[in-house]
């Protein structure tokens, strides 16, 4: 497997920087309950520890980590990642184009979207080897997910669980799994994945695995059309992955990509 690092040439629009600042102000205002009234003559006491740290950077980190590989079965792949606007890189991935032993006809690829830290994503990338394909986004505002959250005593505010967590199924996040009398799959956050088994056909062109830094910025059909178009003029999968990252950044993605 070869690994390369490339810088992005995308010029970040000024409106994105302004959007980050305004979003941070709005979220801070909501969670802190707005400005407090002060007693006349009372000295303003502002402590840096009372200020909510921003999840975003003043400027995005555009350095890309790009790699490629393949297997004896003729399976070729490439992967690219970038920290982007986020203060930390919290996502991880695993690429195993050919497993060993009785599973030598199998390949394993996974993207782990971390939040509130990278520990769980990195642990899963090293240890979680399960042959699944998740094809539905688990968002708190989806009707079925919202019903489970409300049944567990929670709410969906700002499209987040209790106004905080943006995903409704995840490993970890034990603060959202504390209803003792409910089973694991009926908590505010469920660890249960949705599993689909799909037969490959000769018409299959490629498979895209990505985190929500991609899918929140571009739809399935649009991204497939973009990749298909690029494959007609470029045979370097690493370059195409890097171009997808640039496209999502340009379309306004504020997450790790």
In whole angstroms, give the CA distance from residue 68 to residue 80.
Answer: 9
- Give the residue with greater pLDDT, 222 vs 199: 222
Question: In the chain, what percentage of residues exceed pLDDT 70?
Answer: 77
pTM, two decimal places: 0.52
Domains by residue range for the chain, with CATH: 2-24+55-135+194-250 (3.60.40.10), 143-186 (no CATH)
Which stretch of DSSP H or E encloses residue 16?
helix 14-32
* Residue 119 near residue 91, CB atoms below 8 Å: no
- Give the residue with greater pLDDT, 230 vs 36: 230
| pLDDT band (50, 70, 90) for residue 214 | very high
């Amino acid at each position: 497997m070869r690994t390369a690092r490339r810088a992005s040439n995308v010029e970040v629009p000024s409106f994105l920087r302004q959007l980050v600042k305004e979003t941070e102000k709005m979220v801070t205002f909501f969670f802190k309950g707005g400005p407090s009234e002060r007693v006349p003559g009372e000295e303003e006491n502002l402590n840096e520890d009372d200020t909510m740290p921003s999840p975003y950077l003043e400027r995005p980190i555009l350095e890309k980590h790009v790699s490629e590989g393949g297997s004896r079965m003729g399976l070729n792949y490439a992967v690219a990642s970038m920290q982007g606007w986020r203060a930390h890189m919290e996502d991880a991935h695993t690429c195993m184009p050919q497993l060993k032993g009785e599973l030598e006809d199998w390949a394993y690829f996974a993207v782990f979207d971390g939040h509130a830290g990278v520990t769980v994503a990195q642990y899963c990338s090293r240890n979680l080897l399960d042959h699944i394909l998740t094809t539905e986004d688990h968002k708190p505002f989806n009707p079925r997910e919202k019903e489970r959250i409300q049944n567990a005593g929670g709410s969906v505010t700002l499209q987040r669980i209790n106004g905080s967590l943006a995903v409704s199924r995840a490993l970890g996040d034990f603060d959202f799994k504390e209803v003792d009398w409910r089973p694991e799959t009926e908590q505010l956050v469920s660890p249960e994945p949705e599993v689909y088994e799909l037969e490959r056909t000769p018409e299959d062109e490629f498979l895209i695995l990505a985190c929500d830094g991609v899918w929140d910025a571009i739809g399935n059909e649009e991204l497939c059309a973009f990749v298909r178009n690029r494959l007609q003029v470029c045979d370097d999968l690493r370059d195409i992955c890097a171009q997808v990252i640039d496209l999502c950044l340009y379309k306004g993605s504020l997450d790790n990509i």
